[in-house]
Amino acid sequence: MNKRKFFIYPLLALCLLNAGCAAFLLGAGAGTAGVIWYKGRLQETLPYSVPHVYEAAKAGLRDLDIGITEERHDKLTAKIKGKLADDTEVWVDAESKNASTTVLTIRVGILGDKAFTLRIRDAIKKHL
C-alpha cells in the first residue's frame, strides 16, 4: 500500500502541473497581493473605476508608442487592442468589480511576454 502512495502522489502532482492548475494555485497565492500571472496574461485588481483605468491605459500605451488599433468602453468594461512595431498584438481589458475597483488584464502576443506586459502595466499605473 505504501508503494502505491509513493507513485500516486507524484503522478497527481505531475497531472496538476501539466494541466496548469499549479500555476493557478500559485497565482491564487499571489492574488492576495492583487497581481496574477496566468497562461500568458497579467491580471491586477486596481482601486479605480473602469473609465479612469481606460484613460490611463490609453495614455500608457501612447507612452510606449504602441499603436491602438481598436477600442471599446463603457462604465463597466473597456477593451483596447494595439500592435507593437513588429506586429505583435497587445490586449488591455478592464472590467468593473464594483464602483471603485477594476480588474485590469494585459496580454502581449499569443503566448504572452511577461517582461513587456509588466512594462505596459507600469506605464498604465503611472497615469493612475
What are 85-127's pLDDT values in tens digits?
Answer: 999 999 999 999 998 999 999 999 988 999 999 999 999 999 9
What is the rounded CA–CA span in Å between residue 28 and residue 32?
7
pLDDT, position 38: 77
- Band the pLDDT of 6: cuts 50, 70, 90: low
In b/e form, how buried is each residue of 5-41, taking b as 16+ CB within 10 angstroms? Answer: eeeeeeeeeeeeeeeeeeeeeebeeeeeeeebbbeeb
pLDDT in tens, 65-77: 999 999 999 999 9
pLDDT in tens, 35-58: 777 788 999 999 999 999 999 999
Q: Helix, strand, or coil here: 84?
A: coil
Q: How far apart are the first and last CA of the chain?
A: 58
* Structure-model confidence comparison of residues 5 and 53, the more confident one: 53
Handedness of CA 22, 46, 93, 57 (dihedral sign): negative
Global confidence as pTM: 0.71
What is the rounded CA–CA span in Å between residue 15 and residue 1?
21
pLDDT, position 33: 43
